[in-house]
Amino acid sequence: MRHIKPTKGRLVIAVIQEANRVSRGGIVLPNSTSQSNVQVGKVEATDEIDKLGTNQVAVGDTVFFERFTAAEVELDGNKLFLVKEEDVLGIIKEKK
């Protein structure tokens, strides 16, 4: 199986789902009516150049990112996104 090794501070992200938006009244808006292109994905690979450990995002993290800032690619039938780490909106973590 082939894989992508990202360069120049990029991440490879596999989409899990598009994020839903919630109105001020608490109503969940379906993705089709959402104005945001925010998606949820799992980080599959990171740029290994950063030897100083300054990356905030690691392989296996689940993250929010905006689709329009990413480059969409397909490899072996899988849709993936190449995203700059600085374009990740947030990391989803379990509460402790």
Query: Tens of pLDDT along 23-82?
Result: 666 666 665 544 568 889 999 999 876 555 667 888 999 999 988 889 999 998 888 999
Tally of structural domains, the chain: 1
Residue 38 lies in a domain: yes
pLDDT, tens digit (0-9, with 9 covering 90-100), for 41-58? 999 999 876 555 667 888
Residue 44 lies in a domain: yes
* Cα–Cα distance list, 94 to 33, 55, 61, 62, 78 (Å): 28, 19, 11, 10, 27
Residue 4 lies in a domain: no
| Residue 37 near residue 66, CB atoms below 8 Å | yes
| CATH label of the domain that carries residue 53 | 2.30.33.40
Residue 3 lies in a domain: no
Write out the residue range of the structural domain in which residue 87 sits. Answer: 10-91
Residue 2 lies in a domain: no
